[in-house]
Structure 1
Amino acid sequence: MSDALEGTPLIAPSSTDHPLYEGIVNACRSVFDPEIPVNIYDLGLIYTIDINAESEVRIIMSLTAPGCPVAGEMPGWVADAVAPLPGVKQVDVDLTWEPQWGMEMMSDEARLELGFM
């Protein structure tokens, strides 16, 4: 299994076998929480990446806290990172607070970067 899933608390099955999946993961890794110097994928904020047969992408994500100052902007940043990928027809990004994000959702790389290992 790919290490791309490490640190990610998927709340619904992701389309890991879809040809666009790895590119979408890499696009998500280009988006950073402005208060934490780690990308949102390795922080464990991306819960699900669903890609249907028409290459329409639905991403379910969370934030580190409900009061996050960029709560209104972060989903747009993710959509803007994923939308230009060749083959992606549409991107919808939804925020969820269930399950609540916790530091245990971070990848080993994120924990190392933040000094938690």
Structure 2
Amino acid sequence: MESQSQLEGEPLIKPSTADHPLYDAVVEACRSVYDPEIPVNIYDLGLIYTIEINEQNEVDIIMTLTAPGCPVAGDMPGWIVEAIEPVAGIKMVNIELVWEPPWGMEMMSDEARLELGFM
């Protein structure tokens, strides 16, 4: 029972290490990757839940896809690794694909909503 009560206080989406000096460069790299079915980059779509960068400049990405049956489910993590690895200073990129919490339109940035005509 004790471990369950500890989990309740944890956010559904782990916070990113936005104060890391390489964070903005990693975000920009993520913005270069697009879902082939939607003309908006994966970052503004809200598919990247967490960008964690440790002191060794190893990047852990927690992400989701718009749907579990997404045709590029097997490819997209590799595209993200290919986009981030060339960023100067990055040592390693690890992608974790999760389905909880499920992606929803409310996770899109205002720019993405505008681009897709939802605003």
| TM-score, length-scaled by structure 1 | 0.91
| TM-score, length-scaled by structure 2 | 0.90
What does residue range 1-117 of structure 1 map to in structure 2 within 5 Å?
11-117=13-119
Structure 2 unaligned residues grouped into runs of 5+: 1-11
Looking at structure 2, the residues matched to 16 and 58 of structure 1 have their Cα atoms a distance apart, in angstroms, of 13
Read off the aligned partner of 1:26 and give its amino acid letter: E
4+ residue runs over 4 A deviation = none
Per-residue CA deviations over 1:18-68 (Å, capped at 9, x if unaligned) read 000000000000000000000000000000000001000000000000000
State the superposition RMSD in angstroms: 1.2
Per-residue CA deviations over 1:90-113 (Å, capped at 9, x if unaligned) read 000110000000000000000000
More helix by share: 2
Partner-residue secondary structure (3-state), 1:93:
strand
Structure 1 unaligned residues grouped into runs of 5+: 1-9
Looking at structure 1, the residues matched to 89 and 13 of structure 2 have their Cα atoms a distance apart, in angstroms, of 25
Partner of 2:4: none
The one of the two structures with greater contact order (alpha-carbon pairs below 8 A, sep at least 6) is 1
Identity of matched residues, %: 73
In the alignment of these two chains, the number of paired residues is 109
Partner-residue secondary structure (3-state), 2:43:
coil
